[in-house]
Structure 1
């Protein structure tokens, strides 16, 4: 029986080895890639749930703060103010944030004195939770049907009942006596905006739905079949969220379908403690992992293709190996017969080609390594820069808190002054962030600090000067100084009077910014008896930090301040 040639043995061996190796590598790559893709998908859902919970908490905090600020309004706190005046204040507050269904002022006796729409006035709400709780401090109630508001207009049977959240804060006189309670009733459609933002945040994720659960597990917002239903407490995502955890769970819901669910409990924001809501973001498991399934299928398919090609290459390679062996066998046979022998030459060219390929690969690898080192160096530089900026900011806040506390007459005085200065620093940070911390326009900083005091009148503030770009090191101290001048003008200077005006003009000469602040039309000015913290802050920020110069002129017609600051950054159009 004739023996098979060497090419058959080599082709079968190399082809089988290539096929097995390729299939094993394809399976391993498929598993590793699938696990990473699944982890990324789960992380995305958990992130979306966290983002939505954060937006809900911040949104309710802002509305809670609206009522606290409204309760401090002088007209609202004035027992002698007419109902019409109070109604106008409430209407302006509602126009500022239209998602309020109605805003009202309830007297200390529990009767509604005035509302933003004029409706429901005179009705007793002394038994309502927002009044009983709002007398003691700021209060936010959970979602409920708007029973009183439903009486204002007829509702068709197909319409869903209007739902609101009650937000209230006590109104107290200067002596601390309770004068009433301001209450805003936030239309629950406000939450739809948060859900719409989820759609934008989820991006390319398909069939994603968000649910908001009350503390007892009732669905406040979600798919129509689940609205106002109570989810089982043993649902893994619900149970985990109630324990204060956040993450993602693959679970079977009451409808029998399997979902990938991201969960997060709303934990409140700053002073607002939150309502104990739970945010769930779910996606059908098959849809969520469709890309994983496709990836596995493609890897296995390409693995089979590569294995087949490997078998063909094995057959071809076996031919290349067998041919020289046959030549050597022919030469050996000829030598055995005593015939002249021509020994085949070695494959030097192929070795040189391989050597050249390795040199090219080595050169490419070295280039990649150099790029990686450069990227690491850039990242390290950015981290050092970030640490430097954070330390400087923390040092400024610490100094500001200490100095504000020394000059504050009370805790409320300290809180108001300190928050105002932090807000001023935040305004300048916002301008710098918009320019990627590469610089900030002087006009933008001045506008951000002064526009809140203009009252919507263009004639109150006048800014004049060329475009100037400031480095962050100059922009932050200068922004704080302008804030102190603006606050002083609003309290005691030109901006405290109806006809008062502030003019700011500037110029740049030989690398130095010269800025002049002038007030006019305000009450008479007299030099202060003692140097306040604001003045010390201005001098410390500009003279000590920036080696600048500050001159204050307490002229009777209005305060004038001359500032000269050397610019350490380039000057460009702002």
Structure 2
């Protein structure tokens, strides 16, 4: 039986090996990529559920705080105050947040004394939960039908009365005696606004539906077909949320369809304890994982194409390899017979080509090695620089946390101040990162810090000065100083008033960068009796770190601050 030629063996071997290797790699890549894509899709849905639950909790906390603040109003607490004055106070509170259906003041006997709209006054509500429980402390009641409010709307549908949440707080006199309860009825349309915000967040995802479940599983918010129904407690997402967990589940719903469901229980916010709601964000499983199926098909298709090309290349490569081997075999056979051997000219040329190829390959490898060493050196330099910057940043954050804690009146005060300062540092980092940490424009840093306080008015913040590029060593301390000035202005200075303005002017003088901060149109300035942490932080950042000079002028018409930073410091930092 004649043996097949070498080309057949090589072609079959290379072709089969290439085909198997390519298919295996395609399958592995498909599996890994699909798992990662599925995990990302699940995480996005879980994030949406967490986002909506957080908005619901924070929103009800704000309304909770509204009632607590309203209960402390002197007019509301004064039994002798005219009813019309009390109506005006509650009307202003309702106009501040329009989702209140009505706000009312109930006297100690349980009779409505005054409301923001003037309606329902004189009605006895002593048996209502928001009165009986609101007498003892702040109270938030779950969603329910507002039958009294429905009666005020002519032509309302009895089958679909308005739905509200009751929020109440006790009103006490100076001696602690209960004089009444203030109660706000929050229109459930507020929650639909939160749902609309979720739809905007998930604009890139199709068929995403949000549901809010009461503590007993009743659907408070969701598709019309599910509203006021009760989801089974055995549904995996509902059971997991009731157990206090958050995440995603791929599950079959009562309608027989499979959904990818992100779930999260509401947990309250600060003093507000929460209502035990569950937020579900679901998407049809086929729609959610459509991109995963497409990815798998594409990877497998391209795997087959590459495998086929590999087999053809194997056949072609085998022919190139077998031809010189055959010539060498003929020459070797002639040598074995003792016959004169004439090396094929092609063999010499191929040897020369191989020599040239090896020489070129060696040269290429040397170039690659040199480039690799240079890249390693650059990477080591970058690592050292990053290590240095991280240490400096951590030292700054450590000092800032210690000083903030020392001057904070409470944990909430510390948290707010510390987060604001970290945000100010991150904004300056963002400006530097956009410029690859080679420098940052002074105007860009000022805009990043002051834009949130402009209130959409072009004349509220005025920046005037030539283009100035700052090194990271200057940008970070100067950004923190501007943040402290802006925060102080928003709390106590010009930015706390509607007509207040801040002007920042700078120039590059002989040997120094000079910046002037001026406030106007705010409350009358009273010189401080002690030096706060913000002032110490400004001086520490600019005077100690940059060898600069800071002067404050607590003029009655508005705070003025002069900052001078030597240009020599900027040059050394660069």
- Compute the TM-score of the two structures, normalised by the length of structure 1: 0.78
Cα offset, 1:5, TM superposition? 2.3
Equivalence for 2:205:
205
* CA shift for structure 1 position 473: 3.4
Distance 2:41 2:152 in 1: 47
Give 2:482's match in structure 1, choosing from 458, 463, 475. 475
Secondary structure class of the residue paired with 1:226: coil
| Paired residue secondary structure (2:230) | coil
1:322 to 1:515, Cα distance in 2 relative to 1, 3 A = closer
Query: How far apart are the structure 2 equivalents of 1:330 and 1:21?
Result: 35
Cα distance in 2 for residues equivalent to 1:306 and 1:517: 69
C-alpha separation between the residues in 1 aligned to 2:84 and 2:465?
Answer: 46
SS at structure 2 position matched to 1:471: helix
Instruction: Give the match's secondary structure for 2:133.
Output: helix
1:468-496 deviation line (CA, Å, top 9, x unaligned): 99823323554566578659xx9xxxx9x
Closer, same or farther: CA 399–118 of 1 in aligned 2, 3 Å: same
The Cα shift of 1:161 comes to: 2.1
Quick check: 1:170–1:182 contact (8 Å CA) kept in 2?
yes
Structure 2 CA distance for partners of 1:437 and 1:341, relative to 1, 3 Å: closer
- Identify if the C-alpha distance between structure 1 residues 154 and 376 changes in structure 2 by more than 3 Å, giving closer, same or farther: farther
CA distance in 2, matches of 1:275, 1:381: 48
Once the two structures are superposed, the pairs formed by residues 456-467 of structure 1 within 5 Å of their partners are none
In structure 1, what is the equivalent of residue 51 of structure 2? 51
Look up the match of 2:127. Answer: 127
1:218 aligns to what? 218
Contact 1:221–1:227 at 8 Å: present in 2 too? yes
Tell me whether 1:33 sits opposite 2:40 in the alignment. no
Partner deviation per Cα, 1:487-509 (whole Å, 9 max, x = no partner): 9xx9xxxx9xxxxx999888779
The corresponding residue for 1:140 is: 140
1:29-428 residue pairs with structure 2 within 5 A? 29-157=29-157, 160-335=160-335, 336=337, 338-343=339-344, 344-345=347-348, 346=351, 347-352=354-359, 355=362, 380=387, 383-384=390-391, 387-401=394-408, 404=409, 419=413
Paired residue secondary structure (2:165): strand
Alpha-carbon distance change, 11 to 256 in structure 1, aligned in 2, over 3 angstroms: same
SS at match of 2:137: coil
**Does the aligned pair in 2 maintain the 1:90–1:104 contact within 8 Å?**
yes
Post-superposition Cα deviations, 1:279-302, rounded to whole Å, max 9, x if no partner, equal: 111111111111111111111111
Question: Which stretch shifts more, 147-156 or 293-302?
Answer: 147-156
| Deviation of the 1:191 alpha carbon | 0.9
Give the superposition deviation at 1:34.
Answer: 1.2
Q: Does structure 2 retain, via aligned residues, the 8 Å contact 1:250–1:285?
A: yes
1:481–1:537 contact (8 Å) kept in structure 2: no
Cα distance in 2 for residues equivalent to 1:463 and 1:205? 39
Superposed displacement of residue 10, structure 1:
1.7
Cα displacement (A) at 1:110: 1.2
Provide the aligned C-alpha RMSD in A: 4.3
Correspondence for 2:546: none
Q: 1:200: how far off? A: 2.2
Q: 2: distance between equivalents of 1:182 and 1:16?
A: 82
Q: 1:465 to 1:47 in 2, by over 3 A?
A: closer
Q: Which runs of 5+ in 1 are unaligned?
A: 405-413, 452-460, 496-500
CA contact (8 A) 1:146 1:162 kept: yes
Larger mean CA deviation between 50-59 and 435-444 belongs to 435-444
Q: Matches of 2:517 and 2:204 in 1, distance apart? A: 50
Aligned length: 530
Deviations 1:144-186 (A, max 9, x none): 1111101101345497321111111111122212121111111
Shift in Å at residue 328 of structure 1? Answer: 1.6
1:560 Cα deviation after fit: 8.7
8 Å contact from structure 2 (residues 493, 559) kept in 1: no
Residues of 2 paired with 1:540 and 1:60: CA distance?
37
- Compute the displacement of 1:37 (Å): 1.2
Aligned-residue offset at 1:269: 0.8
* CA–CA separation in structure 2 for the residues paired with 1:429 and 1:71: 35
Closer, same or farther: CA 207–321 of 1 in aligned 2, 3 Å: same
For structure 2, the 5+ residue unaligned runs are 432-441, 469-476, 544-549
Q: Measure how far apart 1:215 and its partner are.
A: 0.8
Residues 276, 560 of structure 1: CA spacing in aligned structure 2 closer, same or farther, 3 A cutoff?
closer
Contact 1:443 1:463 in 2 (8 A): no
In structure 2, distance between residues paired with 1:566 and 1:370: 38
CA distance in 1, matches of 2:388, 2:201: 31
Task: Give the direction of change, closer, same or farther, for the CA distance of 1:94–1:359 in structure 2 (3 Å limit).
Answer: farther
Pairwise CA distance, 1:44: 1.2
- How far apart, CA to CA, are the structure 1 residues paired with 2:534 and 2:289? 58
Pair 1:31–1:117, CA change in 2 (3 A): same
